[in-house]
Structure 1
Amino acid sequence: MKTERLEFTGFDGSTLAARLDLPVGKPAAYALFAHCFTCSKDIPAARRIAQRLASLGIAVLRFDFTGLGHSGGEFANTGFSSNIQDLLQAVEFLRDQYEAPQLLIGHSLGGAAILAAAGSVPEAKAVVTIGAPAEPEHVLHNISDHIDEIFIEGEAEVLLAGRPFTIKEQFIEDICGTTLTDAVSSLKKALLVMHAPLDETVELENAAKLFQMAKHPKSFITLDSADHLLSRAEDAEYAAEMISAWVQRYIDVTLLPKLMDAPEGITRVSEADANSFTQDISAAGHHLIADEPASYGGSYLGPTPYQLVAAGLGACTSMTVRMYARQKQLPLEHVQVDVSHNKVHAQDCESCDQNGGKIDRFERRITLTGDLTDEQRTRLLEIADRCPVHRTLEGEIEIKTELV
């Protein structure tokens, strides 16, 4: 997976910072992610969900609302309505530059904004909310101690998640004047409501209200012991996994490229993208990616071809050592094999017949953990050299190529 940094214009002309998480190859679909109140596009939950969807084949655009994160503009001049406008600007950006989003995801107040904006995105087939309030004004409990001051002075500085933000009277009026009832009841898109029962920021009853307002198809998934921000890695991963499983009912995605149905006994390598070095590898139903580093013009989404060869040697070495230790019932607890590859001058190789030029050298460093005697360690080192891949690399190899 790779991520591109992008920019587009927000509701007031400010430049909004965004990231587009892309799958390997052509995306099957696009999604738009809206972050929580005063958060940013880069919170761990947003990153993990975007990465999981990208691995499924869905590209995800996540951005910072006006005045937040790396985006321009003044947060004090924003409101719930401006968040909706920013979302629609993001949709228009995707529509013009890539493809309109088929999936809309919103976290907390971002979920409320997604629900309000969804009716204006005809291409969207599915909507996901995470810890979203049933009505936008729920967010006002975060600033309840300052509401009188805001109405008297016109604005006030409040601390939210330890950071100061200026909240103006127009923000309160705007958010109180918006309801989600009509938007949710007339959604006409598949809806997944996700909520944690122990969420202390947005209580579970909000999820119940959203679910009751929505018409089918609709689903609910509990996030068990997660907190509002899904700050624990395992909670964010669970949410990402559930969204990925659910969305496949409504959006046509393919877990692996269709060209990768390799016949039995064949390792098939196919370009993921004609404009890159990224390669899809299929072997007996397993999927791998090969690539080159950025210094060679690649995206480095997977190991290089030589790293894959080194991995084959290392894996075969470890397996061979383990097999012998198991047969002889040796107290071997763990095997680790570090393999490096370099081009070296032939004269530096004592056991090589070649006199000039360079040769390929693979260096192995084997770590054997366990209560082994010196004699047993020496024997296991000898066995390592009997690894079939080792013998193949040192033996005579014939490669036959034909055009099909």
Structure 2
Amino acid sequence: MPGKPVKFTFDGAHGAKLAARLDLPEGPVKAYALFAHCFTCSKDLTASRKIAESLTMEGIGVLRFDFTGLGGSGGDFASTNFTSNLDDLERAADFLRDEYEAPKILIGHSLGGAAVLAVAGRIKEATAVATIGAPADVDHVTHNFSEHLATIKETGETEVSLGGRPFVIKRQFVDDLAKHNLANAVGQMKKALLVMHAPLDQTVGIENAGRIFDAAKHPKSFVSLDQADHLLRDPEDAGYAASVIAAWAKRYIPASKEEPVEIVEGVMARETGLGKFQSMVITGHHRMLADEPESVGGFDSGPSPYGFLSAALGSCTVMTVRMYADHKNIPLEAVRAEIRHDKVHADDCAECTKDHLPKSGKIDRFERKITFIGDLDAQTRARLLEIADKCPVHRTLEATSLIVTSEKPA
């Protein structure tokens, strides 16, 4: 169903069942993207999720999966290597090609970024590649367990702690890394490239971004992630990276895939399937996300329902004041309304004198602060405050509304 994520498994290149998730936009899919997660991470990392959210908002479906032995995928991590990761990526692209459409966009984080650069030449339909914090040499990953390299070479394998979790690293993994020349792959891939990197990245230094960028042919772009860490743990950093990738990727989607956006009369809200609360809100041809804060289990990917309600009051207020000021030729340069919503006890509410308000229990209190900018006298400012109360949403919230509910067949 459009807008609902599709969760499934597919056969990896070496027999393991790989756990995957295909995030789909509301309405027609303009193109598909394939995402590769970072070393020993999973498809559900914050950065992966944020990127999928942003791309689906732009009409792009995103396939993300767990590499062999990681996350929800089967198989033994100790038996994998960079080559097998490339094979799994190619198998994921094959799945998209067979079941939906081959990916036009490849995105990779950290070693996953190196992987999409290395595999890009095998996926002929891909037109654009984006990397986040990618190393310029795949054997850079060995710095995560450098103190164990001698033991691995001597005994053939050892258990190391990566991100607080135990992993067995075998000699074949280390030996395989040395077989790959990423610079050659980048120089020959003939696809648009976006390199994203944080200058303060302590895991993969910024110099790696420079080497990848220098090796690539045009068109190529570089975007700094400023204060972000390697894993983009801060949701704001992840959200910024996701929004940039989404805006950039649209340029490389064939125009023939552009289709009219479905027009919805009124407002429709639909679960996205991401997290506990996230919903897609559609009105007319507009698309917005509603969510709850992370503190209550949401992703904080959009305003809360009460946030939208406050936004309705605030926007209606400034529109109403503007219409009145223009009609009366009042020199109002700008108007701003700040809204805060709270639940308060009726017994503690000094302003709650309206007859229709309950005299006990909790009630909704909207505090509205309006700023008028311009050369206005006190009488005019007072009149504008009165006009703000005539905002239709204000009147609706103050009055008793009727909500009629019925079931609509799917």
Does TM, scored on the shorter chain, surpass 0.5? yes
Cα distance, 1:179 vs structure 2:
1.1
Q: Which residue of 2 aligns with 1:114?
A: 116
1:235 Cα shift? 0.7
Equivalence for 2:83: 81
Shift of 1:10: 0.7
Which whole-Å deviations, capped at 9, do the CAs of 1:193-242 have from their partners, x for residues lacking one? 11111111111111111111111111111111111001111111110111
1: CA distance, partners of 2:315 / 2:212? 54
Aligned partners of 1:317 and 1:385 also within 8 Å = no
Tell me which of 101, 104, 109 is aligned to 1:102.
104
Matches within 5 A, 1:323-402: 336=341, 365-369=363-367
Matches within 5 A, 1:209-358: 209-252=211-254, 258-259=260-261, 280-282=282-284, 286-287=286-287, 315=312, 336=341
1:63 partnered with 2:90: no
Instruction: Tell me by how many angstroms 1:252 deviates.
Output: 4.1
Which residue of 131, 140, 147 corresponds with 2:142?
140
Q: How far did residue 182 of structure 1 move?
A: 1.9
Letter matched to residue 260 of structure 2: K
Alignment partner of 1:195 is 2:201: no
Report if the CA contact (8 A) 2:5-2:23 is conserved.
Answer: yes
Assess if the C-alpha contact under 8 Å between 1:313 and 1:389 holds in 2: no
Residue aligned with 1:19, SS? strand
Q: 2 CA distance for matches of 1:245 and 1:100? A: 20
Give the TM-score normalised by structure 1: 0.71
How far apart in 2 are the matches of 1:176 and 1:25? 44
The alpha carbon displacement at 1:368 in A equals 4.8
Secondary structure at the aligned position of 1:47 is classed as helix
Residue among 157, 165, 168 paired with 2:167: 165
**CA 1:219–1:383: 2 relative to 1, 3 Å:** closer
CA distance in 1, matches of 2:268, 2:367: 39
1:39 aligns with 2:41: yes
Q: Deviations over 1:134-166 (max 9, x none)?
A: 110111111111111111111000111111100
Query: What SS does structure 2 have at the residue aligned with 1:81?
Result: helix
Do the aligned partners of 1:260 and 1:268 also contact (CA within 8 Å) in 2?
A: no
Task: Name the % identity.
Answer: 51
Q: In the TM superposition, what is the alpha-carbon distance from 1:388 to its structure 2 partner?
A: 5.8
The gaps in structure 1 that reach 5 residues or longer are 273-277, 291-301, 339-363, 371-381, 396-404
The separation in 2 between residues aligned to 1:80 and 1:57, in whole angstroms, is 31
Counterpart in 1 of 2:52? Answer: 50
Question: 2:134 is aligned with what amino acid?
Answer: A
Distance 1:24 1:140, change over 3 A: same
**RMSD, aligned CA:** 4.1
Q: 2:30 — aligned with what?
A: 28
In 2, the alpha carbon distance for the partners of 1:35 and 1:233 equals: 16
What does residue range 147-186 of structure 1 map to in structure 2 within 5 Å?
147-186=149-188
Q: Residue 181 of structure 1: CA displacement?
A: 2.1
User: How many residue pairs are counted as aligned between the two chains?
Assistant: 330
